[in-house]
């Protein structure tokens, strides 16, 4: 079964410094990857969806996918304190099921 692992568990960056989050998965046949974030006690907000190897940019958020290396990353340009949240990596494992990582807690210091 697809396993999704995220690192680091927690990341603290200063406002304006690039934040980089990592996600590894065990099954490279998946073709549907997403990054979500969850602010405290709120629902999931989709940030970037990526379906093929390479790069996908959505505003300040850029995802990089390398299925050969079983790796997808998220880079946040010029993070702000309001970006402090839990960031979740999600991988479609089959027709219906999405497997999530446990998340990275991002803290952006003003």
Partner 1 sequence: DTTVKQNPRYKLARVGKPVNLICSQTMNHDTMYWYQKKPNQAPKLLLFYYDKILNREADTFEKFQSSRPNNSFCSLYIGSAGLEYSAMYLCASSSGTGGSDYTFGSGTRLLVI
* Minimum gap (Å) between residue 33 Cβ and partner 1: 11
* Minimum gap (Å) between residue 79 Cβ and partner 1: 21
Coil vs helix vs strand at 81:
helix
* Minimum gap (Å) between residue 6 Cβ and partner 1: 9
Dist. CA 35–CA 31, nearest whole Å: 14
* Minimum gap (Å) between residue 104 Cβ and partner 1: 11
Type and span of the H or E element at 1: none
Dist. CA 94–CA 21, nearest whole Å: 24
Secondary structure letter of residue 80 according to DSSP = -
- Judge whether 19 and 13 are in contact, CB under 8 Å: yes
Q: Give whichever of 17 and 46 is closer to partner 1, judged by the CB atom.
A: 46
Q: Give whichever of 31 and 66 is closer to partner 1, judged by the CB atom.
A: 31
Cis ω on the peptide bond leading into residue 8 (within 30° of 0)?
yes
Interacting residue ranges for partner 1, rule: CB under 8 A: 4, 32, 34, 36, 38, 41-44, 46, 49, 51, 88, 92, 94-103
Q: Give whichever of 17 and 29 is closer to partner 1, judged by the CB atom.
A: 29
Q: Give whichever of 10 and 14 is closer to partner 1, judged by the CB atom.
A: 10
């Amino acid at each position: 079964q697809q396993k999704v692992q995220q690192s680091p568990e927690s990341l603290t960056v200063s406002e304006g410094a690039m934040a980089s989050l990592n996600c590894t998965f065990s099954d490279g046949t998946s073709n549907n990857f997403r990054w979500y974030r969850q602010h405290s006690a709120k629902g999931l907000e989709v940030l970037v969806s990526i379906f093929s190897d390479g790069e996908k940019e959505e505003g300040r958020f850029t995802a990089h996918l390398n299925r050969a290396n079983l790796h997808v990353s998220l880079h946040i340009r010029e993070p702000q304190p309001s970006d402090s949240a839990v960031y979740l990596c999600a991988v479609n494992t089959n027709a219906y099921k999405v497997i999530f990582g446990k998340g990275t807690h991002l803290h952006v210091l003003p």
